[in-house]
Amino acid sequence: MSIRTTVKNVLGEKNVRVVRQLKRRISGQPPQPVKKKPTGLAAISHDLNKLAVHFKTDKWGAHRYTQHYQRHLQHLKNEEFNLLEIGIGGYNRPGQGGASLRMWKAFFPKAQIFGMDIQDKSHVDEDRITTFIGDQSDPSSLNAVADKIGDLDVIIDDGSHRPPHVLTTFATLFPRLKDGGIYVVEDTQSSYWPEWMGSEDLDDPNTSMAMLKRLTDGLNYEEFVDEHYQPTYTDLNIVGVHFYHNLVIIEKGRNAEGTNKRSALKARYAKK
């Protein structure tokens, strides 16, 4: 056992600190500043799960989304960027909604947070939070909101969850998302519910999950052996699709890594 450890055990941690302070005073050294532990929101501003509980958003609790958001959005923590969330919550109840917008604001101290809802949610507006009235089933309405915001770095679809609306929103706004941006679709369980305009048929091409699953094939379009295949916009501009329970996170970027199919399939291509 070292002398330092022996002294600690005899005097105790508190008395050891007192002795150190006395030694600094005698030697003329300035006292070390006491680090104050953050309190309130500052104490949990690094943890989306805790922020979700604090602001009472169902992104943690009813769902388990914030753990995945933390992983995929952490790199933006102290960056200046624009985040748009479709669906503000509270339906048509006066004074309700905005919980997740406040959560995003607390987690991203330099971001501008925007929300769009079919209901007027202007009561949520405050510093760095701006809301718009808009209809996600209407491309012109979506584009009008996007025009007002400008650059779109993160888009979160937490709107009606009806597959036709999800498809329209994605087709309209994904092309407007910046390269390197993140596009999120929440509550994809509605894709399986006929009562929510979904379908029990897992192969129904008109559901939001069917569209999202097709994106995974598009990631590998360069491996298709059909020489006449023309890659789509999403084929060329998606570099990652991450599926979680009722949540899909899409990474935008230039998808052109190349292929080894000609060397791997020599017999096929030798005929041509």
Residue 180 sits in a domain whose CATH number is 3.40.50.150
Q: By the 8 A CB rule, do 100 and 59 touch? A: yes
Can you give the pLDDT at residue 139?
99
Band of pLDDT at residue 205, cut at 50, 70 and 90: very high
Can you give the pLDDT at residue 26?
73
Shared domain for 10 and 95, answered yes or no, is no
Shared domain for 25 and 97, answered yes or no, is no
d(CA 15, CA 11): 6
Question: What is the percent of the chain where pLDDT is above 70?
Answer: 88
Residue 34 has pLDDT above 60, yes or no: yes
Shared domain for 192 and 76, answered yes or no, is yes
Selected catalytic residue, list 75, 161, 228, 242: 161
Q: Strand, helix or coil at 12?
A: coil
Shared domain for 133 and 217, answered yes or no, is yes
Average the pLDDT over 31-53 and give the result. 86
Range of the domain at 26: 1-35
Shared domain for 6 and 138, answered yes or no, is no
Average the pLDDT over 243-268 and give the result. 95
Can you give the pLDDT at residue 11?
53
H/E stretch holding 217 reads helix 208-218
Token pair for 206:
């008109």
Strand partners of residue 256? none
The yes-or-no answer on residue 161 being catalytic is yes
d(CA 104, CA 214): 30
d(CA 29, CA 51): 41
- The answer to which of 18-22, 32-36, 95-99, 242-246 has the lowest mean pLDDT is 18-22
- As a whole number, the mean pLDDT across the chain is 92
Shared domain for 116 and 203, answered yes or no, is yes
Instruction: Kindly give, in sequence order, each residue whose CB lies less than 8 Å from that of residue 44, ignoring residues fewer than 6 positions away.
Output: 50, 51, 54
Bigger pLDDT: 89 vs 13: 89
Residue 7 has pLDDT above 50, yes or no: no
